[in-house]
Structure 1
Amino acid sequence: MRTHPVRRLCVPLAAVLVALPLTGSGPLAEGRVRTAARAGLTAELDRLFEDPRLTGAQASALVTDTATGEVLYRRSPGALLLPASALKTVTAAAALDLLGPDHRFGTDVLAAGRRTGGRLEGDLVLRGGGDPSLLPADLDELARRVAGSGITTVSGGLLADASRYDGVPLGPNWAWDDQAAYYSPQISALTLTTDTDYDPGTVRLTLTPGRPGRPAAVKLTPPEAPVRLSGRIDTGAAGSGRTAEVDRRPGSNELLLTGSVPADGGTSQEWVAVEDPAQVAATVFTADLARHGVQVQGPVRAGRAPADATALAHHDSAPLSALLVPFLKLSNNGIAEHLVKEIGRVRAGAGSWAAGLDRIADFTHRSGLDVTPARQADGSGLSRHNLMTAQRLSRLLEFARTRPWFRTWYDALPVAGDPRRMVGGTLATRLRGTPAEGRLHAKTGSMTGVDALAGYLDRPDGHTLAFTVLLNNFAGASPRPVIDAFVLSLLGQHAAPAPDTGRRTRSPHDWD
């Protein structure tokens, strides 16, 4: 292939840009070198965006030096594009600013009735406080405390109180066929997760192969969750492909099992978003109460705690500063939406998307972040109504460095090439073994036809770059290698994007 005429110059010039000190003698000569270096870097980065995988697509990028504010590269920085999960940087910053790093979500158990010895004449209430990290073990501990209070019998039922947030479970323009996906959960003030990934509103199925031709064993967590399993997952021959899928029938908690797992494949897990998370959590709690000797005679039903209900037990989540790690590292959509509704509840008295997003918009305005138009429709980036610009996201990267919560926010960003799950996160396998390993702290974003990266790159000379790359409307193979080559070019490393392997664009069920 014929070499592009600029290509012979761009590598050393980009290297000069990295190595060049930004202060020193000879300002005129230095300025000329800097100008030439920027021109070389611009040519190199422009060439990357000519990759055939971006034919017909939209690309936007902005790179600045955080110490000087100097713009090192720009490409349509004001273009309104889908940010996917890169939007979580905005939600996280707003939550830290508006709720504070020490904010916690509480869950309460209350007695709504008169106590006579060990008998409660009335209802028991499980009141959700919006905690996206509430685990089965937490419910079990609450049940133990209720039993410890002396109650052995509840004549009424168990009220599932999710009134802290509104009753709108799904965000605007969320895909209808993603409703069973763990990354598209129903948002409720009373919800349950199954592990410390903290995917709220989900149950987990563990699949264990049997003998070839026999059904695989399916274990439900939590086992008391009111879901029904239909169909089956078979065991295929050793070495066969894994085709197992778990879906949920819309409007119900019937889980549909299909496909197979290979006999030698070991155990695997599937997470499924449930219908009515509050009902699921309250049903699990009723079983916990029974194990601790507290019998609830009435049914589980939705309801609000009466004003005169008395407190029996309380559980606090970890602080927001800690929850930010799984939120950003693992690109957790459920946590994002809980933060939006919690902002609305705390700052505007209404636990709704509308109230929360209005407060976030006010935060961005007061902070001078609305340098371009934008539209934020949810907290996670799942909605295709979202529109952001590279300029706006890059401005956030600069602003965050001035805030007292910056270190918490920065440390929660994924780190390139670090295999530790709660460090590398969605960047754990990217740019490993390259000069960017450990130097790139950034938020990923991807969905069908969208790939994005926004964050910080530490250069060997001690300078830190803030950058945003947004790619939209590509129809073939993922152009993610273009973004990785972009990062390496900022370090003065010429790297042609990896070739097209024939892999098609990511499925909507493949989210980060």
Structure 2
Amino acid sequence: MDAVRTDPESPSTSRAPAPVRHRHRKPKAMSAAARRALVLAATAPVAGAVLAGPSSAFAADKSTAAAATVPDAAVPVDDADSTMAAKLAERVNNPSLAGDGTLSGVVLDSASDKVIWGHNASTALMPASNAKLATATAALNELGPEARFTTKVVYSNGTLTLIGDGDRTLSGDDLGEMAQTAVDGLKAAGVTNVKVAIDDSLFPEPTMAEGWRPDYYDDQISPVRALSVDGKLSADTALDAGKVFAAKLADRGVTVDGDVTRGKAGTGDVPVAQKLSPTVAELIRTMLKHSDNDMAETLLRKTALKAGQPATFEGGTAAVRQVLGERYGIPLDNVVLHDGSGLSRATRIPAATIAAILDNATEPRNQYVLGPILDGLPVAGEAGSTLGPEYARFDDPNSKCAVNKVRAKTGTLTGAVALSGLTQGKDGRWKVFSFVENNSTAKTSEITDAMDGLAATVNGCWA
């Protein structure tokens, strides 16, 4: 099946471990130019440095963390890194990865940003859902982790208008509560008949992104609108939400005249009810944990608007590039973005850039803003996430040792499989890795098994 929804999207049933955090600042901040030269040039193992222990469930003890102050240049490649790099060099030749396809891969030491291993690291490939990491970074930076979206109901001249604000978590129960609030006000005013309209004008009329296939609709994603209900795929999610709202009103004793129509609320309309979304931080966690395409594209448009761009694919991806390149100094060499979800078959991102995005989220100075990215990464073996056992991840003899030890974003399209995340290596230091494979002729299950094996190799449990 050609789509990111081959990554499962059922609700998580277990609590993810605490996110990776650094206990101390890195010894030395790197310039964007230095990072670019260091990461994109990766073709072989180089010297690494000890990682300051993260303040999380995976943290090394304080004495280990406190010792992580040796200058980078004085730290040679240790045996664990050398062994891991050598094993990766062998295992990327797995026929499921090598074959007729192309693999872009890199492993960084998170404390120093040094490259431990690289293979075609600057080769830009289809990243599938790994593109959501770029979307998440921009959304958190522009909107802020505590921001919420507000769905509203207003009244004017006998019409209740439901106004969308991009909350993809809005449910039928939420609309029922809003309907009850509206009904209470209407009855108090002696109104028993209304018309219902929807206003989803926050976003322009939906279009398809470059690189999207027509059959994505009603299978992988809905046309992107500012109003929806219950996260359902639909040709018109806004109209569906309006119909549900109208039904909730009728259930509560108010007669709805005629069909639900599309309109635009006026500035003088009377506020009647509203519903706040979860925070952007919570939305990001959900988007990443379940690889939610609709949420990614909605967040892309909200990010665009906050950045002063039009709420389109072009405006959203321009905002993403600005945040990544100008705000965080992440290298964008060879990066081509066409959407927020990674469904586009025209999007290209090298593994080196994906690793830099993740590594950026581990910086102590970025913890408050970008921490939800680390929180949202699926955990190997986590039921209900895209790395859950129900999808046969980390369950073969080579990778099952890494269950609960790897946090990573998955990505799957026909002809593209990706896995990028973090794990604590055999030496106790945290590693950032990214593996992106395109055009293998092997079965998807064989490719994902091989990818999981690479992550287990970085962890060191598959020696």
Q: Give TM-score scaled by structure 2 length.
A: 0.77
The one of 446, 454, 457 equivalent to 1:486 is 454
Match of 1:418 in 2: 382
**Aligned 8 A contact 1:154 1:297 in 2:** no
The partner residue of 1:149 within 162, 168, 185 is 185
CA distance in 1 between partners of 2:74 and 2:322 (Å): 45
Matched with 2:406 is: 440
Partner of 1:168: 206
Residues 23 and 405 (structure 1), Cα distance of their counterparts in 2 relative to 1, 3 Å cut: closer
Shift of 1:347: 2.3
Residue 208 of structure 1 corresponds to none
Contact 2:80 2:427 in 1 (8 A): no
1:335 to 282, 289, 295: 295
1:468 aligns with 2:434: yes
1:184 is the counterpart of 2:204: no
Identity %: 28
Asked if 1 retains the 8 angstrom alpha-carbon contact of 2:402 and 2:461, the reply is no
Superposition pairs of residues 43-192 of structure 1, within 5 angstroms: 43-53=86-96, 54-113=98-157, 122-151=158-187, 153=191, 157-181=195-219, 183-192=220-229
1: CA distance between counterparts of 2:460 and 2:258? 68
Matched to 2:281, the amino acid is S
Amino acid at match of 1:172: E
> SS of 1:444's equivalent?
strand
Query: Cα deviations across residues 232-280 of structure 1 (Å, max 9, x unaligned)?
Result: xxxxxxxxxxxxxxxxxxxxxxxxxxxxxxxxxxxxxxxxx21211111
Q: Do the aligned partners of 2:424 and 2:431 also contact (CA within 8 Å) in 1?
A: yes
Q: Is the 2:408–2:421 Cα contact (8 Å) retained in structure 1?
A: yes
Distance in 1 (alpha carbons) for counterparts of 2:105 and 2:248: 52
Answer yes or no: is the 8 Å Cα contact 1:111–1:125 preserved in 2. Answer: yes
3-state secondary structure, aligned to 1:129: coil
Report the alpha carbon displacement of residue 44 of structure 1 after superposing the two structures with TM: 2.0
Q: Is the 8 A contact 1:345 1:352 kept in 2?
A: no
1:368 aligned onto 2:404: no
Q: What letter corresponds to residue 185 of structure 1 in structure 2? A: S
Q: 1:391: how far off?
A: 1.1
Q: Compared with structure 1, are the counterparts of its residues 108 and 30 closer, same or farther at alpha carbon in structure 2 (3 Å cutoff)?
A: closer
CA distance in 2, matches of 1:302, 1:356: 25
Provide the C-alpha distance between the structure 2 equivalents of 1:23 and 1:145, rounded to a whole number of angstroms.
57
Counterpart amino acid of residue 130 in structure 1: G
Long gaps (5+) in structure 2: 1-49, 52-63
Secondary structure of 1:187's match?
coil
Distance 1:168 1:299 in 2: 22
Write the distance in 2 (CA, Å) between the matches of 1:412 and 1:29.
35
Q: Which one has the bigger helix percentage?
A: 2
Q: Which runs of no fewer than 5 residues in structure 1 stay unpaired?
A: 1-16, 114-121, 194-199, 203-272, 496-512
Please tell me the residue identity of whatever aligns with 1:189: A
Which has the larger strand fraction?
Answer: 1
Question: Which residue in the other structure is 2:258 paired with?
Answer: 298
Q: Tell me, in whole angstroms, the C-alpha distance in 1 between the residues paired with 2:311 and 2:387.
A: 32
**Is 2:367 aligned against 1:323?**
no
Pair 108,38 (structure 1): closer, same or farther in 2 beyond 3 Å: closer
Q: What is the letter of the counterpart of residue 134 of structure 2?
A: V
Contact preservation (8 Å) 1:153, 1:295? no
Displacement after TM superposition at 1:68 (Å): 2.2
Could you tell me how far 1:179 is from its partner in structure 2? 1.6
Structure-2 residue corresponding to 1:384 = 345
Q: Which amino acid aligns with 2:197?
A: L
Cα distance between partner residues in 1 of 2:128 and 2:162: 34
1:408 partnered with 2:372:
yes
Q: 1:148 to 1:71 in 2, by over 3 A?
A: same
SS in 2 for 1:426: coil
Counterpart secondary structure, 2:240: helix
Q: 2:357 matched to which residue of 1?
A: 396
* Structure 2 letter corresponding to 1:453: L
SS of 2:417's equivalent in the other structure is strand
Structure 2 CA distance for partners of 1:123 and 1:81, relative to 1, 3 Å: same
- Shift in alpha-carbon separation, 1:491–1:109, aligned structure 2, 3 A: closer
Match in the other structure for 1:225: none
Deviation at 1:327, TM superposition (A): 0.9
Amino acid at match of 1:458: Q
CA positional deviation for 1:136? 0.2
Alignment check: 8 A CA contact 2:336 2:347 kept: yes
Summarize the Cα distance change of 1:85–1:147 in structure 2 as closer, same or farther, 3 Å threshold: same
Distance verdict in 2 for CA 1:308–1:494, change over 3 Å: closer
Higher RCO (Cα < 8 Å, 6 or more apart):
2
Of 85, 104, 119, the match for 1:42: 85
Q: Does 2:243 correspond to 1:283?
A: yes
TM-score of the superposed pair, with normalisation by structure 1:
0.70
User: Aligned-pair distance for 1:81?
Assistant: 0.1
Residue aligned with 1:74, SS: strand
Partners of 2:425 and 2:460 within 8 A in 1 = no
Distance 1:28 1:306, change over 3 A: closer
Question: Does structure 2 conserve the Cα–Cα contact (< 8 Å) formed by 1:156 and 1:298?
Answer: no
- Does the 8 A contact of 1:165 with 1:345 survive in 2? no
Give secondary structure in 2 for the equivalent of 1:149. Answer: helix
Q: CA deviation at 1:174?
A: 1.9
Distance 1:407 1:440 in 2: 17
Give the deviation of 1:190 after TM superposition.
1.2
- Structure 1 residue 38: Cα displacement: 5.1
The verdict on how the C-alpha distance between 1:154 and 1:369 changes in structure 2, with shifts beyond 3 A counting, is farther
The answer (yes or no) to whether the contact 1:164–1:345 under 8 Å persists in 2 is no
* Separation of aligned partners in 2, 1:371 and 1:462: 30
Distance 1:23 1:137 in 2: 51
- How far has the Cα of 1:492 moved from its partner? 3.0
Partner of 1:274: 234
Q: Residue 313 and residue 455 in structure 1: after superposition, are their counterparts in 2 closer, same or farther (change >3 A)?
A: same
What amino acid sits opposite 1:280 in the alignment? D
State the alpha-carbon separation in 2 of the partners of residues 371 and 35 from structure 1. Answer: 31
